[in-house]
Structure 1
Amino acid sequence: MSSQQYADGGSLLNWPEGFDRTSPEKRESYPHGFRVSQTAAFDNILDGLQKMDARNVQVRTAAPHTAKEPHRPYANRNPDDPGVVVYFEKDGQQFAVPCDRWDNLRDNAQAIASARSALTARSLRTNSPSQ
């Protein structure tokens, strides 16, 4: 699949190289029911990355984002391409974290926030002294 995919309204979500896209027919609803709003899911991404001291955080989707909170797409937007890509810098390195496994923006955003949270917890366990 191409590294770029057309989305609703002709906007384009640039997908980072080296990451495969999920084909639209394989996307499904998240089966365990994230219990957060779309706004909270996108805020969770930003909050988690701020706790990691990440810099230059950019959250991209095919939906238009608000000017006041540029990491958030407008509420109730459901573009044809539900993918979410988060770009950030940490310790002088650039990172991209994409997700398009699920069929809506909220679930893909919350999946990124949850994965980041799990990685941080794992890092803390790995780096803590043995008892």
Structure 2
Amino acid sequence: MAESITASPLCWPMGKSRTLAEDRKRGRFGKRNASGWGLQELSVSEARGRVIEVLDRFTKPGQPYRVPSDTIVLSTNLSLRNDGMPRSGQREPTDPGVAVYFKLDGRQQCIPCDVYTRVADNIAAVADCLESLRTLERHDAQLMQAAFTGFAQLASPEASGRALWREVLSTNSNDLDEIRQAYRRAIKRAHPDHGGSSEQFAAVQQAWAKAQEEIGND
């Protein structure tokens, strides 16, 4: 797993555009209530379970694990459990996006989603996408591999690694002093007292740390 991939805050792949907040919609991934009417909202725990279950089903009985559990990262803006997975029962973050990273047959993959207003629904959407890919594999393995090629590109170091901090700090400079100035502007914008959020604030801090690491090593 690339060092730049974090379970929290959200590590969104740079190769995938974001959904505008006003364009996000409510998901319908919940369960019918006892009377058979309406939908109960899906919890993060339930959605997380769906992803883990479908990834596990890529491996047939008797096969070596195709998706080792230690390669799975559910990246969100939620706080984490001790096992590194997002914890249920939290208030929805400002950015409900999700990016699920994993290795399938040794190849790094990433499936992101931020179409829905709730983290749980975005996780569930990824699970549905994975299930569709499993169905595709049953009918045409080569077609499934072709579909996964795009997800592998999203998970590449070029997409999710060194360049990410530049996007967060809004700078293309290689001068550390100029980058520091960009960091100060970004951290001010991201502060909750100035219209930002704790998630954005943490992302800027992480970006500054990555910038110092990269520029200092050049």
Into which bin does the TM-score normalised by the smaller protein fall? Answer: 0.7 to 0.9
Structure 1 pair 33/117, CA: closer, same or farther in 2 (3 Å)? closer
Structure 1 pair 46/77, CA: closer, same or farther in 2 (3 Å)? farther
Q: CA deviation at 1:33?
A: 4.5
What is residue 124 of structure 2 aligned with on the other side?
110
> Within the alignment, does 1:34 sit opposite 2:30 as a pair?
yes
What is the TM-score with the length of structure 2 in the denominator? Answer: 0.49
Q: CA deviation at 1:118?
A: 1.2
Q: Secondary structure of the residue that 2:140 maps to in structure 1?
A: helix
**Percent sequence identity over aligned pairs:** 29
CA distance in 2, matches of 1:124, 1:85: 25
Q: Secondary structure of the residue that 1:65 maps to in structure 2?
A: coil
CA contact (8 A) 1:61 1:73 kept: no
Q: Secondary structure of the residue that 1:18 maps to in structure 2?
A: coil
CA contact (8 A) 2:76 2:86 kept: no
2:95 to 68, 81, 97: 81
CA distance in 2, matches of 1:112, 1:41: 9
Q: CA deviation at 1:50?
A: 2.1
CA distance in 2, matches of 1:23, 1:72: 23
**Structure 1 or 2: more strand by fraction:** 1
What letter corresponds to residue 123 of structure 1 in structure 2?
Answer: E
- Look at both structures and tell me which one has the larger radius of gyration over its CA atoms: 2
What is residue 63 of structure 1 aligned with on the other side?
78
What letter corresponds to residue 30 of structure 2 in structure 1?
Answer: F
Q: Which has the higher contact order (CA 8 A, sep 6+)?
A: 1
**Structure 1 or 2: more helix by fraction:** 2
- Across the aligned residues of Structure 1 and Structure 2, the Cα RMSD in angstroms comes to 1.7
CA distance in 1, matches of 2:89, 2:139: 36
Long gaps (5+) in structure 1: 1-10
**Alignment size in residue pairs:** 115
CA distance in 1, matches of 2:51, 2:85: 9
CA contact (8 A) 1:82 1:100 kept: yes
What is residue 192 of structure 2 aligned with on the other side?
none
Q: Secondary structure of the residue that 1:15 maps to in structure 2?
A: coil
CA distance in 1, matches of 2:22, 2:86: 26
What is residue 161 of structure 2 aligned with on the other side?
none
Q: CA deviation at 1:19?
A: 0.7
What is residue 67 of structure 2 aligned with on the other side?
54
What is the TM-score with the length of structure 1 in the denominator? Answer: 0.78
Long gaps (5+) in structure 2: 1-7, 32-41, 59-65, 142-218
1:25 to 14, 22, 25: 22
CA distance in 1, matches of 2:9, 2:82: 18
